[in-house]
Structure 1
Amino acid sequence: MIKLHILILILISISIFPSIISQKPYCNKTCPNSILNNLPYPFGFSSGCEIQLNCSQNGIVSIGEFAVEKANDKDGLLVSLPSKCGRNVEALHTLYSENYAPTSENAILMENCTDKIRTCMVPEMMFQPQLQVIDCGGKSDVYGNVSCYSGDTNLPFLDYENVMMAGCHFLLSGMVVKMVGDNPALSLDVQVVKLGWWLKGDCECSEDAICTKFVSPVNGGDGYKCQCKDGFSGDGYKASSGCRKGSSGCHLFGRCEGNNIVGVFVGVVTIGGSLIACIGLVCCYARRRTIAASFSKKNRRLCEVKGITIPIYSYKEIEKATNGFSDKQKLGTGAFGTVYKGKIRKGEWVAIKRIKHRYDTDNINQVMNEITLLSTVSHQNLLRLLGCSVEKTDQILIYEFMPNGTLSQHLQREKGNGLPWPVRLTIAAETAQAISHLHSSKPPIYHRDVKSCNILVDYNFKAKVADFGLSRLGMIESSHISTAPQGTPGYLDPQYYEKFHLSDKSDVYSFGVVLTEIITGLKAVDFSRRHSEINLASLAIDRIGKGNLEDIIDPFLKPIKDDSIMNSIHKVAEVAFRCLALDSDMRPPMAEVATELENIRASNFPSWKENIDIVSAQ
Structure 2
Amino acid sequence: MNPTILPPLPFPNLFLLFSVLVFSSLLPTSESTDHYYLQNCQPKSCGNLINVSFPFWFRSLQPDYCGYPAFELRCENDTTKLSIPEEDYHVLDISYDKRTITVSMARFASSDTCLLPYYNLSFSLTPFTISSLNRELVFVYNCSARKDGFVAITCHNNRSYAYLGGTYRIEESEGSFGSCYTVVMPVLTSPDPDVKKYPQLLANGFLLNWTSPDCSECSRSKGQCGYNNETRNFMCICPDRAHWRSCYEGSSKTALTVGLSTAGGLSFIIFCLLCFLLYRRKKKKQFAKSNLFDRNTSLMMSKFECEQGSSLTSPIFSYDELHEATNGFDASNELGDGGFGTVYKGNLKDGRVVAVKRLYENNYRRLEQFMNEVKILSLLRHQNLVTLYGCTSRRSRELLLVYEFIPNGTVADHLHGSHASESLLPWKVRLSIAIETADALNYLHSIEPQIIHRDVKTTNILLDNSFHVKVADFGLSRLLPLDATHVSTAPQGTAGYVDPEYHQCYQLTDKSDVYSFGVVLMELVSSMPAVDISRDRNEVNLSSLAIRKIQQQELDEFVDRRLGYDSDYRIKVMISEVAALGLRCLHSEGEVRPGIKEVLEILRAIEKSGWKSDDSLLADTQMKEEARLLKSGSPYSPDSVTDRWKSSSSSMTSFTT
- The question of a shared fold, defined as TM-score above 0.5 by the shorter chain, is answered with yes
Deviations 1:17-67 (CA, angstroms, capped at 9, x unpaired): xxxxxxxxxxxxxxxxxxxxxxxxxxxxxxxxxxxxxxxxxxxxxxxxxxx
Is there any run of 5+ residues in structure 2 with no aligned partner, and where? 1-33, 53-57, 74-81, 95-217, 236-241, 262-270, 633-657
Counterpart selection for 1:195 from 243, 246, 250: 243
Greater mean deviation of Cα atoms: 417-426 or 539-548:
539-548
> Counterparts of 1:20-39 in structure 2 under 5 Å?
none
Q: Which residue of structure 2 aligns with residue 420 of structure 1?
A: 426
Residues 498 and 318 (structure 1), Cα distance of their counterparts in 2 relative to 1, 3 Å cut: same
Is the counterpart of residue 433 in structure 1 residue 381 in structure 2? no
> Counterparts of 1:134-145 in structure 2 under 5 Å?
140=88
Q: Which residue of structure 1 aligns with residue 320 of structure 2?
A: 316
> Counterparts of 1:510-525 in structure 2 under 5 Å?
510-525=516-531
Residue 544 (structure 1) shift:
1.3
User: Contact 2:227/2:233 (CA < 8 Å) preserved in 1?
Assistant: yes
> Counterparts of 1:166-245 in structure 2 under 5 Å?
174-176=227-229, 187=230, 189-193=231-235, 195=243, 198-200=250-252, 212-213=257-258, 236=278, 242-244=281-283
d(CA) in 1 for partners of 2:444 and 2:492? 18
Q: Which residue of structure 2 aligns with residue 296 of structure 1?
A: 298
User: Contact 1:433/1:594 (CA < 8 Å) preserved in 2?
Assistant: yes
Q: Which residue of structure 1 aligns with residue 387 of structure 2?
A: 384
Q: Which residue of structure 2 aligns with residue 447 of structure 1?
A: 453
User: Contact 1:198/1:214 (CA < 8 Å) preserved in 2?
Assistant: no
Q: Which residue of structure 2 aligns with residue 357 of structure 1?
A: 361
Residues 119 and 321 (structure 1), Cα distance of their counterparts in 2 relative to 1, 3 Å cut: farther
User: Contact 1:129/1:534 (CA < 8 Å) preserved in 2?
Assistant: no
SS in 1 for 2:345: strand
User: Contact 2:383/2:470 (CA < 8 Å) preserved in 1?
Assistant: yes
d(CA) in 2 for partners of 1:316 and 1:305? 24
Q: Which residue of structure 2 aligns with residue 474 of structure 1?
A: 480
d(CA) in 2 for partners of 1:464 and 1:145? 51
d(CA) in 2 for partners of 1:613 and 1:340? 31
Greater mean deviation of Cα atoms: 344-353 or 442-451:
344-353
User: Contact 2:530/2:541 (CA < 8 Å) preserved in 1?
Assistant: yes
Greater mean deviation of Cα atoms: 549-558 or 113-122:
113-122
SS in 2 for 1:404: coil
Residues 110 and 311 (structure 1), Cα distance of their counterparts in 2 relative to 1, 3 Å cut: farther
SS in 1 for 2:317: coil
Q: Which residue of structure 2 aligns with residue 9 of structure 1?
A: none
d(CA) in 2 for partners of 1:137 and 1:402? 39
Q: Which residue of structure 1 aligns with residue 413 of structure 2?
A: 409
> Counterparts of 1:103-114 in structure 2 under 5 Å?
114=51
- Paired amino acid for 2:430: R
User: Contact 1:575/1:593 (CA < 8 Å) preserved in 2?
Assistant: yes
d(CA) in 1 for partners of 2:90 and 2:222? 22
SS in 2 for 1:353: strand
Residues 144 and 323 (structure 1), Cα distance of their counterparts in 2 relative to 1, 3 Å cut: farther
Is the counterpart of residue 118 in structure 1 residue 166 in structure 2? no
- Paired amino acid for 1:468: F
Residue 553 (structure 1) shift:
0.5
Q: Which residue of structure 2 aligns with residue 529 of structure 1?
A: 535
Residue 357 (structure 1) shift:
1.1
Q: Which residue of structure 2 aligns with residue 220 of structure 1?
A: none
d(CA) in 2 for partners of 1:311 and 1:546? 53
User: Contact 1:509/1:580 (CA < 8 Å) preserved in 2?
Assistant: yes
SS in 1 for 2:562: coil
- Paired amino acid for 2:252: K
Residues 382 and 314 (structure 1), Cα distance of their counterparts in 2 relative to 1, 3 Å cut: same
User: Contact 1:411/1:419 (CA < 8 Å) preserved in 2?
Assistant: yes
Residues 572 and 421 (structure 1), Cα distance of their counterparts in 2 relative to 1, 3 Å cut: same
d(CA) in 2 for partners of 1:574 and 1:460? 28
Residues 113 and 602 (structure 1), Cα distance of their counterparts in 2 relative to 1, 3 Å cut: farther
Residues 371 and 520 (structure 1), Cα distance of their counterparts in 2 relative to 1, 3 Å cut: same
- Paired amino acid for 1:365: E
User: Contact 1:351/1:399 (CA < 8 Å) preserved in 2?
Assistant: yes
Residue 600 (structure 1) shift:
1.4
Residues 295 and 137 (structure 1), Cα distance of their counterparts in 2 relative to 1, 3 Å cut: closer
Residue 389 (structure 1) shift:
1.5
SS in 2 for 1:341: strand
Structure whose alpha-carbon radius of gyration is higher: 2
SS in 2 for 1:578: helix
d(CA) in 1 for partners of 2:409 and 2:507? 32
User: Contact 1:444/1:473 (CA < 8 Å) preserved in 2?
Assistant: yes
Residue 191 (structure 1) shift:
3.2
Greater mean deviation of Cα atoms: 574-583 or 478-487:
478-487
Deviations 1:267-305 (CA, angstroms, capped at 9, x unpaired): xxxxxxxxxxxxxxxxxxxx96x9846633433444443
> Counterparts of 1:479-498 in structure 2 under 5 Å?
479-498=485-504
Is the counterpart of residue 332 in structure 1 residue 323 in structure 2? no
Residues 367 and 117 (structure 1), Cα distance of their counterparts in 2 relative to 1, 3 Å cut: same
d(CA) in 1 for partners of 2:86 and 2:250? 41
User: Contact 2:345/2:355 (CA < 8 Å) preserved in 1?
Assistant: yes
Residue 120 (structure 1) shift:
4.9
**CA RMSD across the alignment:** 4.5
- Per the normalisation by structure 2, the TM-score is 0.56
d(CA) in 1 for partners of 2:392 and 2:323? 11
d(CA) in 2 for partners of 1:585 and 1:109? 38
SS in 2 for 1:409: helix
Residue 613 (structure 1) shift:
1.8
Deviations 1:382-428 (CA, angstroms, capped at 9, x unpaired): 11101112454421111111111100010004113221100000000
Residue 532 (structure 1) shift:
1.4
User: Contact 1:174/1:192 (CA < 8 Å) preserved in 2?
Assistant: yes
Q: Which residue of structure 1 aligns with residue 597 of structure 2?
A: 591
Deviations 1:580-614 (CA, angstroms, capped at 9, x unpaired): 11111110000010111112123334789988524
d(CA) in 2 for partners of 1:139 and 1:160? 36
- Per the normalisation by structure 1, the TM-score is 0.60
- Paired amino acid for 1:346: D
Q: Which residue of structure 2 aligns with residue 615 of structure 1?
A: 629
d(CA) in 1 for partners of 2:293 and 2:304? 17
Q: Which residue of structure 2 aligns with residue 567 of structure 1?
A: 573
d(CA) in 2 for partners of 1:420 and 1:235? 68
User: Contact 1:103/1:195 (CA < 8 Å) preserved in 2?
Assistant: no
Residues 559 and 547 (structure 1), Cα distance of their counterparts in 2 relative to 1, 3 Å cut: closer
Give the share of equivalent positions with the same residue, in percent: 35
Counterpart selection for 1:375 from 368, 374, 378: 378
Give the length in aligned residue pairs: 425
d(CA) in 1 for partners of 2:544 and 2:559? 15
User: Contact 1:412/1:522 (CA < 8 Å) preserved in 2?
Assistant: yes
User: Contact 2:65/2:227 (CA < 8 Å) preserved in 1?
Assistant: no
Residues 324 and 199 (structure 1), Cα distance of their counterparts in 2 relative to 1, 3 Å cut: same
User: Contact 1:233/1:243 (CA < 8 Å) preserved in 2?
Assistant: no
User: Contact 2:496/2:541 (CA < 8 Å) preserved in 1?
Assistant: yes
